[in-house]
Structure 1
């Protein structure tokens, strides 16, 4: 669910970015007929998901949240980290977020045949909402969580996740900064200009 973080960390090649984006929608064995760069991006997406499960910072973030959220704690941390990345994008990436997002929107619009059906159905709404840039705003995060809550088969508390995010924001932001430093060692993305500084 953390689209922006996946896009930030993957190699900045168009096919790899596309693979990183669609990774949430591709389960099981990979289609080897996909372009090599797209496969690389999907594999990178899976590596990041696995890495997050072993990250001390990510686990600490989950522990801060209401245990009644259950498995949804991981989903909420994913989205919270995207929110923090969007808000502090200029610290982590030299290109303005608006320009970066526009390049991703062009990429998906130029490659509709490579998009999974679920993403293709969501795409008009996501583009209309400028979803990558809108991650900066809590009201957009709340909409995301409400939609995810309705899509899950079991009853859950995810729709009230923004309250948890606000209640534990200081600790979650500290965890996010630590997580981003961990990724520098593991993935070597674009260098951080001012590590650990949040605005």
Structure 2
């Protein structure tokens, strides 16, 4: 669910960004059926997830939640980290968040046909409720967590995690800031490797 971070870490290529954005629904070797630029995004997404899941700072954040939320803790931390990225956006991009999000939504429209069915079905809800921009406010995170809890048929209790965010706000923000610098460096290096592996960057390649 950390959509904003994955989009941000994709660089300037729209199709790499879209591949990264929709990668969660593409399992195993299914990525091979996509174009080189989409493949890069999918593989970048997987590398980011692997790096994140193994990182000691992220694990520290996750441990704070584990007693209450068990295996959902990692999902919650992803969402909380997107909040801090959105809240502190000006530290990471010269493009205002509102413009960045609007440009991404336009990209979804331009390349609608290359998106997976599940993403196509999700887009109207995402844009109508402006998920990416809403992450900057605690109220927006509360809505995301509420909706995630509903998807688990209220078994996860994730809607209550906004209380943990507020209680440990400074700790979570410090952990995000420390971790994200390392993730940015890792993602830049990994994308360079993928550009070498998939050198076809023709802008007409869909």
1:3-152 superposed matches below 5 A: 3-152=3-152
Q: How has the CA–CA distance of structure 1 residues 127 and 184 changed in structure 2, closer, same or farther, with 3 Å as cutoff?
A: closer
Query: Contact 1:86–1:97 at 8 Å: present in 2 too?
Result: yes
Question: Is contact 1:30-1:39 (8 Å) kept?
Answer: no
Distance 1:143 1:105 in 2: 20
Match of 1:195 in 2: none
Whether contact under 8 Å (2:146, 2:158) holds in the other structure is yes
Pairwise CA RMSD = 1.6
Gaps of 5+ in 2: 190-206
**1:139-178, Cα deviation, whole Å (9 max, x unpaired):** 1111111111121268111111111111111110010011
Check the 8 A contact 1:65/1:168 in 2, yes or no: no
Number of corresponding residues = 189
Q: Which residue of 1 aligns with 2:186?
A: 186
Deviates more, 1:77-86 or 1:136-145: 136-145
* Cα distance in 1, alignment partners of residues 122 and 188 from structure 2: 31
Give the alignment of 1:160-171 within 5 angstroms. Answer: 160-171=160-171
Give how far 1:11 is off. 2.4
Q: TM-score normalized by structure 2? A: 0.86
User: Match of 1:78, SS?
Assistant: helix
Verify the 8 A CA contact 2:44 2:187 in the aligned structure 1.
Answer: no
**Structure with greater proportional helix content:** 2
In the alignment, the residues of structure 1 paired with residue 4 and residue 101 of structure 2 have an alpha-carbon distance, to the nearest angstrom, of 9
Partner of 1:194: none
Q: Distance in 1 between matches of 2:72 and 2:2?
A: 13
- Give distance in 1, aligned partners of 2:18 and 2:29: 18
Q: Hey, which bits of structure 1, 4+ residues long, moved more than 4 A?
A: none
Q: TM-score, normalised by structure 1?
A: 0.89
Tell me what 2:2 maps to: 2
